[in-house]
Amino acid sequence: MHEHDPDTTRPGPTPAGRSATTFSTLEPSAAGAVMSSAADRLPLGDRRARKLKGAATLMAFVAGTLGVVSGLHLAGVIAGDSKSFDPQNAGVAEAVIGVVLAAGTLAVYRQHARARTIGLGALLFAIVGFIVGITITTRGGDAFDIAYHATMLPVLVATAWLLSSLG
């Protein structure tokens, strides 16, 4: 145990929600850890945390683009080149994928204890959705829609690879 050092502890009452012990009195392995709850957070500031934040950023980007493209489909701006293509269905599907991906993004960004699993689940759902979407779009969608799916699918796969490498 450490001897009493006035620089590492605060005597007397502490402000609400604050611990009397500062990080300098923690064991060396925990000194760099910032935790809001040991049960549902991972330590911040390490390589894994940076990779999780990077994956969350990519996931948020794709979720944001899904929101925009979904809105364009639902508004009829992206209507497709054939009668077999239904922009309303595409808009709803993209909105659902976007919501699932956004939920996964929050778990990964907040570094929930199961961030990797939740993020990979959301990404797998999005990847499957994009594969279905690109097969439908290539049969009746317009060039922008095909390019969008073809561009975002590799981003989703790369993000899933990034998260899976944290195993």
- The reported pLDDT for the residue numbered 30 is 43
Residue 121 pLDDT > 90: yes
Domains and CATH numbers, the chain: 47-164 (1.20.120)
pLDDT mean over 16-24: 43
pLDDT at 44: 46
pLDDT tens readout for residues 54-86: 999 999 999 999 999 999 999 988 877 777 778
Residue 40, pLDDT score: 46
* Residue with more model confidence, 109 or 22: 109
- Amino acid identity for residue 113 in this structure: A
- The residue ranking higher by pLDDT, 26 or 63, is 63
- 3-class SS letters over the chain: CCCCCCCCECCCCCCCCCCCECHHHCCHHHCCCCCCCCCCCCCCCCHHHHHHHHHHHHHHHHHHHHHHHHHHHHCCCCCCCCCCCCHHHHHHHHHHHHHHHHHHHHHHHCCCCCHHHHHHHHHHHHHHHHHHHHHHHHHHCCHHHHHHHHHHHHHHHHHHHHHHCCC
The answer to whether residue 158 scores a pLDDT higher than 90 is yes
